[in-house]
Amino acid sequence: MNPNYQLTDSQDSYGFGFLDEFAKREIRRVILKAISIPGYQTPYASREMPMGRGFGTGGLQLTLSMIGPEDTLKVIDQGSDDSVNAVNLRKFAELTCPDVSTTESTTEATLIQTRHRVPEIALREDQVLNLQVPYPDPLVIVEPSEAKRKIMHGEGDYARLLTKLYEDLVKFDEITISHRYPTRINGHYVIDPSPIPRYDVPKLHQSQALLLFGAGREKKIYAVPPYTNAEPLVFDDVPFRTENFYNADGKRRACNRCGSTNSFLDELNLEDGSKAWQCSDTDFCNRQLARTDAGEVTQ
Amino acid sequence: MGYVAIKGGGKAIEGAAEALEALRAGGSGSDPLSLNAIEHQLRLLTSRIMSEGGLYHPQLAALAIKQMQGDTLEAGFALRAYRSTKPRLLETPPQDTGNMRLIRRISSAFKDIPGGQMLGPTHDYALRLMRFELAEESPEPFRRMASTFLKNAPEEALPDSFPKVLDSLRSEGLLPPKATNRNPAFDITRDPLIFPVSRSAALATMARAETGSMLAIAYSNMRGYGDIHPTVAELRVGYLPVMLPHPVTGELTEAGEVLMTECEVIAMYEPDESESAKGAAPEFTLGYGACFGHNETKAISMAILDRALQKGMRDGPENPSEDPEFVLMHIDGVDSMGFANHYKMPHYVTFQSDMDRLRSTREKYGERGETPQEESHES
């Protein structure tokens, strides 16, 4: 190595959005392809990011390749803006995208990156939701080989997935898929909607906002374009069921903070051994609380 | 009822970073490691990081080792992430490893090879006895070691390069001829792997794979989940001159050199029933491995896997080590360690969904009287 070589002594050499411009252009092209073929897992040359594979590198590459100084970014993990990973990703975006504003408000954001949740408040046409994806392929539970799965998707062959659902009913009298529920997009491709709860799956259907899914480690991008059908895989006589939050008396639990009865709840184990339930979407919870305080809503 | 919030993430992260730095400094009042010391005294570690990071940059590799406190997976990962910020400027033409300036080359196929065996720097025949005298080393003799070694080295001039062992076997017709149609190399940093993949894509993936992962799968093949009984035709370690077209004249010009390890293994011939092979005399088969830096375990593992994958691509995999998707998707250290560690992140929502499913299913069992009703502590 050249003995006169000097390492740079600052972080300033990183460009806007961290990735080099060729990489961003490639990802934008792949996004366009993904939107054109709803639900199709479009392969791309995913780049290594400075956080671990599995920590949202796919969602982050989507965000960084499309973000501009006029954007307002919101990052959530488990519905919360302040959970460690959300904080980490938001700090990274602030560091590498000067002039971009960040927010905790779902309605103010133009770009939302999320892990495991779709916000409770319905998104608008001028918003994009980037979901972080660990397993992009719903067929992986019945077929380990990617080459074979690709053929099955092309042929719309989801028979083995349906068989798995049927076997669940035979063995347990219930479909046991709790999250990552296989969802058919635009009548053809079945996607893994990322590990969102079943509670969030209906929000994908005819969404006004563009929904993008980025799997960094598995190197795939797919999309549910605005106003597209998204239907969970079920049988005619077995309806799709979301998580229910009923207590032993059959009454819907309310968030013990804001009182809401129409949000996904986190179950908390308290110090005294009792349990409490609270909104997983912290921005939604804060809004409900503010409205309750203002006397607008009474539960 | 108390209000429990998931708050304070930012503060927790800052605190964690400070604690990590405090441990890096240690309590012993020792001096910080210099990059120079890491690069040279931990040269095999530096080699490994450059190779797994996919970036030839000894100083940055040393920095990554220092920063990550010796975690090889994290250090290779940091180097890989740094690489993501750099555009690809050009593609090198194929480089001729026959031009390597060798520090070591051996063949286990022949007693004598053109140019001779050259053992060079290796632990192979060193006794792994603890050398307690290194525990407290005085700096003066340590600094003189290299110059003394060079002074005592015999005067005879070594040739700049050595012929490849395989060339002599090839001239006897015992090996398949060198491939003449050169398709452009598959660039794994610009194109995703879509199976079936080319051998070029497989070689590129293995060249920056994690050493231990590749060793494990190659070892499964050697032990019996596979049938390769390799002979190391040649293993060479040295500095490869990197030839690039001159920006003005276009003539190939030496732009620098990279330390690398290359291994070629020969495996027994086997029946080839393909149409193109009809009537042809059987030949030995080859496996190829190469990586940045001095890392012989990796180069040998790669050569064995290359041979196994070629067989799998041709005849269909009979063992995990012959299945391109199985091998190539599970040997990347950045991918595998990232995913293993992501399980530490909050999974509250998905676990809530899991509990919902289990409770619903148990309720139905309860209705049928098959299990005792779940106890309820709900408030």
pLDDT tens column, B297-342: 999 999 999 999 999 999 999 999 999 999 999 999 999 999 999 9
- List chain B residues with CB under 8 Å of A57: 338
pLDDT at position B371 over 70:
no
Higher-confidence position of B157 and B354: B354
CA nearest neighbour of B243 among B234, B251, B235, B233:
B251
- Band of residue B3 on the pLDDT scale cut at 50, 70, 90: very low
Q: Are B292 and B258 in contact (CB under 8 A)?
A: yes
Would you place residue B373 in the very low, low, confident or very high pLDDT band (cuts 50, 70, 90)? very low
Averages of pLDDT over each 10 residues, chain A, 299 residues: 66 80 95 98 94 92 96 95 90 92 97 97 98 96 94 96 94 90 97 96 98 97 98 94 90 94 93 92 95 69
pLDDT of residue B263 exceeding 90: yes
Q: Is A208 touching B (CB cutoff 8 A)? A: no
Is A97 a residue of the active site? no
- Active-site residue identified among A17, A58, A59, A279: A279
Q: How far is the alpha carbon of B230 from chain A, nearest alpha carbon, in Å?
A: 28
Which residues in chain B are contacts of A282 at CB distance < 8 A? 5-6
Q: Is the ipTM here above 0.85?
A: no
Q: Token pair of B332, please?
A: 């990347």
How far CA A257 is from CA of A78, A281, A297, B108, B187, in Å, comes to 17, 12, 14, 73, 53
**pLDDT at A261 (0 to 100):** 95
- What's the CA gap between B311 and B56, in Å, rounded? 31
What are the helix (H) ranges across A56-173?
57-66, 84-96, 146-154, 159-172
pLDDT at B276 (0 to 100): 65
A48 interaction partners in chain B (CB closer than 8 Å)? 77, 80-81, 83-84, 334
Tell me which DSSP letter residue B132 carries. Answer: G
- CA nearest to A106, candidates A97, A95, A114, A96: A114
Question: Is A68 annotated as catalytic?
Answer: no
Token pair 């539970």 is found at: A141
Does the pLDDT value for residue B242 go beyond 70?
Answer: yes
Bridge-based pairing of strands A220-224 and A210-215 is antiparallel
Phi/psi at A80 (5° precision)? -110, 140
Whether the link from the prior residue into B245 is cis, omega within 30° of 0, is no
B 229-288 → A contacts, CB under 8 A: 256
B151 contact A CB<8A: no
User: CB–CB of B379 and A57 under 8 A?
Assistant: no
Q: Does residue B4 carry a pLDDT above 60? A: no
Chain A residues with CB-CB distance to B355 below 8 A = 267
Choosing among B55, B80, B353, B374, which should be mutated to test the A contact, i.e. which has the most A CBs within 10 A?
A: B353
Number of Cβ within a 10 Å radius of residue B352:
23
Q: Does A298 touch chain B (CB under 8 A)?
A: no
Q: Indicate the pTM of the whole model.
A: 0.88
Active site residue A59: no
Which tokens go with B146?
């290299």
Q: Does B374 touch chain A (CB under 8 A)?
A: no
Of the given ranges (A197-201, B154-158, B196-200), which has the lowest mean pLDDT?
A: B154-158
Integer Cα distance of A27 and B186 in angstroms: 19
The kind and range of the H/E element at B211 are helix B211-223
Min CA distance, A208 vs chain B (Å)?
24
Buried (b) or exposed (e) across A50-82, using 16+ Cβ within 10 A?
bbbbbbbbbbbbbbbbbbeeebbbbbbbbbbbb
pLDDT score at A10: 64
A7 interfaces chain B, CB cutoff of 8 Å: yes
**Contact state of B349 with A266 under an 8 Å Cβ cutoff:** yes
Which of A45, A48, A82 is the closest to B6 by Cβ? A82
Residue of A84, A178, A266 with shortest CB distance to B12: A84
Which residues, numbered 231 to 290 in chain A, qualify as contacts with chain B under a Cβ-Cβ cut-off of 8 Å?
Answer: 243-244, 247-248, 256-257, 264-268, 270-271, 273-276, 278, 280, 282
Percent of chain B with pLDDT over 70: 92
Per-residue pLDDT band for B272 (boundaries 50, 70, 90) equals: low
A7 contacts in chain B (CB < 8 Å): 35, 59-60, 63
Q: Is the dihedral of CA A136, A243, A236, A118 positive or negative?
A: negative
pLDDT at B150 over 50: yes
Helix B211-223 / helix B43-53 crossing angle, nearest 10 deg = 90
Q: Is A39 an active-site residue? A: yes
Does position B235 have pLDDT exceeding 80, yes or no? yes
For residue A217, which residues of chain B lie inside 8 Å, CB to CB? 335, 338-339
Q: What is the mean pLDDT of residues B248-258?
A: 95
Task: Say what the pLDDT of residue B282 is.
Answer: 78
Q: According to the model, what pLDDT value does residue A243 have?
A: 92
Q: Beta-strand (E) ranges in chain B?
A: 101-106, 231-245, 252-267, 285-292
* pLDDT reading at B277 higher than 70: no
- With beta carbons under 8 A apart, name residues in chain A contacting B40: none
Domains annotated for chain A, with CATH where assigned, are: 21-232 (3.40.50.11310), 244-299 (no CATH)
Residues 92-131 of chain A with CB under 8 A from chain B are 116-117
Instruction: Give me the pLDDT at residue B49, please.
Output: 98
